[in-house]
Structure 1
Amino acid sequence: MNKKEEKTYSKNKVNWAPFIYILRKEWEKPGVDSEEDEIIRERIWESIHKNIHKKHFWKSRYLFFLQATSIAAVILICFFTFKSFLFEKTEEARQPNILLITAVNSKVCILPDGTKVWMEAGSELLFSENFTENRELWLRGNSTFEVVKQNGNDFKVHLTNSYVEVKGTSFFINQDIPEANIIALYSGKINLVQGKNEDVIKLYPSQRIIYNSLEVSAQVIPIYENIHWVNGNYRLSQINLTDLVDFLDWKYNTKIELEKLPRKSLKVTGNIRYDESLESVLNKISYSLNLKYKQIDNKYIIHR
């Protein structure tokens, strides 16, 4: 076998046919051999032929095994990929659609269970389309709720680090300041469930909670029994001006002062709409009590 033939053989070890052909050709070159030599030569050739084909057989089997394994791996990857895709699609189909209500301006929203929500401008409600089965929603902003009572189906309003659990009642939520969120209860009963430990604070009518969502702490403070919530209005019944000013401070997140006025003798009766501006309310007070008011920076002063 010359160098060129050896080179051809080394480049194609898997294909043994060229090597067999060359070897046979070399073997059968004319020469002077005896009959015994011819018999020995045939036996040697048969042995070489068997060994070569045996190696080629096992190498082919090995290559076939590698190819079959690769194909099987690809099939398994495709199967599990498709199964994962199908599982994700099935889970997506099981998840209810999420509904978002945004109040660009003040508006009244009626939820699927009949609950009314008076939303202040900029507030948002987030809940699932199966709300009647699972009455949970997430509130961002300020809103007043009149919750329809359903036995065995509580109502939950999720806030930052807490949620309000309702049985059927009316209440107001103000989230203007994270360290002083306010929940005021007008009628019924609610629980404030706060923090990871889900500590429960019970709230009764004419009470409010000042809740610090950053420190996860709360303080219960009384509100005034002569302020009632009636269908989107705060109804005032002979409330002291000082108590009314306190109510307006936390309702509008502002600061109002009384300048040289008798604090207990001045009383107010009337209505305040849920979406009424502070200036409109101050105008009503000034007109009914023959007073005036002025604004200095972010503070309002009521005076003679």
Structure 2
Amino acid sequence: MDKVEKKRLIKSLLSGGLTKKQRKDFADLEPIDIEIRKQWDESGNRPVDMEIKEQIWKKVRSQCEGKKENQVPVELRWIYVAASLALLLGIAGLWKHSLNYKFSENELVKVTTQYNTLHILPDSSKVWMEPGSSIEYYKDFNKDRKVWLSGNSLFEIFKRKESPFQVHINDAFIEVKGTCFLVKQENTDLCEVTLFKGKVEFNIQSTQQTKEMFPSQKLIYNSANSQTQIESITNINWENGKYTFKDIPLNQLIEFINQKYDSDIVLKATHIQQSSFSGNIRHDEKIDEVLYKICYSLNLNKKEEGSKIIVY
């Protein structure tokens, strides 16, 4: 059975085009099971519209004649997964993630990445993870929306009035009402939270202090002495998977890039220290592409010296 036939069968299942016997035979086919699992493994965790997804799930459940609502056969759960991906994402455009999923004894899911990666949480919230970062959350996430973050990640939170969202970092946590913010942890003591949209509360557990943040603000937290500092930002924003910069000083931009890519870029020549850049950087954009864009727009050059990149 080729892939075209497998896809046709999946679509026929959802449209009600298979008889009860065909559905059973379909689920029992080993090639189908292998193909479905392969699609799930390769697809990553792309955004899926929850309303459409729920409709698909209800459709699959309706095919299980004679079964109670919560007694859906295990084999059809895989069909649901593959069918959702097939209809919403397109089977041909599968996307691989370099993620490592682990289920621990206390029912935590752990996700780690060595590349710029988009991870979608069970509630449709987005986590734009940077290299070397990891997140952990409860398997039953929709009942307890808490995430433990290590490293740097940008969050776009799906708003639910009845269910608060928390991001835990070191000995503090961020209480979220529905918003977009970036968390950077460059060492064990210092943490930066940059808020682009919405409103968050930064809670220090050791002192029971709470700091409220508003858009275009950056909070710097030192866990060694539990001190916080809030600054205003005006030249960086986030929209649709990319950072947008407006007249950002070049030295500040290079510092941002070094943090994001764990690189060692050095500005040489004093005349470019006060240059400014306007443009955007996609979350998954390679550092070579970013530097080419900057050098081209500002008429600069770059060269490599060992592990360093010299911009001049």
Q: TM-score, normalised by structure 1?
A: 0.60
Q: What RMSD in Å do the two structures reach over aligned CA positions?
A: 2.7
Contact 1:102 1:125 in 2 (8 A): yes
Pairing of 1:1-304 with structure 2 (within 5 A)? 97-223=107-233, 225-245=234-254, 247-248=256-257, 251=260, 256-257=266-267, 259-261=269-271, 266-294=275-303, 301-303=310-312
The worse-fitting range, judged by mean Cα deviation, of 131-140 and 247-256 is 247-256
Aligned amino acid, residue 109 of structure 2: L
Pick closer, same or farther for the CA change 1:291–1:159 going to 2, 3 Å: same
* Contact residue 195 and residue 216 of structure 1 kept, 8 A: no
Whether contact under 8 Å (1:96, 1:129) holds in the other structure is no
> What CA distance in whole angstroms lies between the structure 2 residues aligned with 1:213 and 1:207?
19
The answer as to whether partners of 1:255 and 1:298 remain within 8 angstroms in 2 is no
Alpha-carbon offset, residue 216 of structure 1? 2.4
Q: Is the 8 A contact 1:178 1:212 kept in 2?
A: no
Give how far 1:170 is off.
0.8
- 2:265–2:311: 8 Å Cα contact kept in structure 1? no
Whether contact under 8 Å (1:116, 1:147) holds in the other structure is yes
Unpaired runs of at least 5, structure 1 = 1-94
CA deviation after TM superposition for structure 1 residue 231, in Å: 2.1
Does the Cα contact within 8 Å between 1:96 and 1:130 map onto a contact in 2? no
Q: What is the alpha-carbon distance in structure 2 between the residues aligned to residue 130 and residue 261 of structure 1?
A: 55
Larger Cα-atom Rg: 1
- Report how far residue 279 of structure 1 moved: 4.6
Look up the SS of the partner of 1:261 in the other structure. helix
Structure 1 position 257, deviation (Å): 3.8
**Residue type of the partner of 2:149?**
L
How far residue 280 of structure 1 moved from its aligned partner, in angstroms, is 3.8
8 Å CA contact 1:145–1:172 kept in 2: the answer is yes
% identical aligned pairs: 36
In the other structure, the counterpart of 2:83 is none
Deviation, 1:181, is 1.7
Q: CA deviation at 1:113?
A: 0.9
Residues 249 and 217 of structure 1: CA distance in aligned 2, closer, same or farther (over 3 Å): farther
Deviation (angstroms), 1:293? 3.6
Q: TM-score, with normalisation over the residues of structure 2?
A: 0.58
Distance 1:215 1:208 in 2: 18
Distance in 2 separating the partners of 1:299 and 1:218: 32
Secondary structure of the 1:132 match is helix
CA drift at 1:141? 1.5
Contact 1:182 1:208 in 2 (8 A): yes
Report deviation, 1:236: 2.3
Cα shift readout 1:20-54 (whole Å, capped 9, x = no counterpart): xxxxxxxxxxxxxxxxxxxxxxxxxxxxxxxxxxx
Between 96-105 and 114-123, report the one with greater CA deviation.
96-105
Q: Aligned-pair distance for 1:296? A: 6.3
Q: CA–CA distance in 2 between the matches of 1:236 and 1:144?
A: 16
Q: Give the distance between the partners of 2:256 and 2:114, measured in 1 at CA.
A: 25
Call closer, same or farther: CA 1:217–1:295 in 2, change over 3 Å.
Answer: farther
CA contact (8 A) 2:145 2:166 kept: yes
The DSSP-based 3-state class of the residue aligned with 1:109 is strand
The CA distance in 1 between the partners of 2:232 and 2:213, in whole Å, is: 10
1:257–1:301 Cα contact (<8 Å) kept: yes
Instruction: Read off the aligned partner of 2:119 and give its amino acid letter.
Output: C
Amino acid at match of 2:311: I
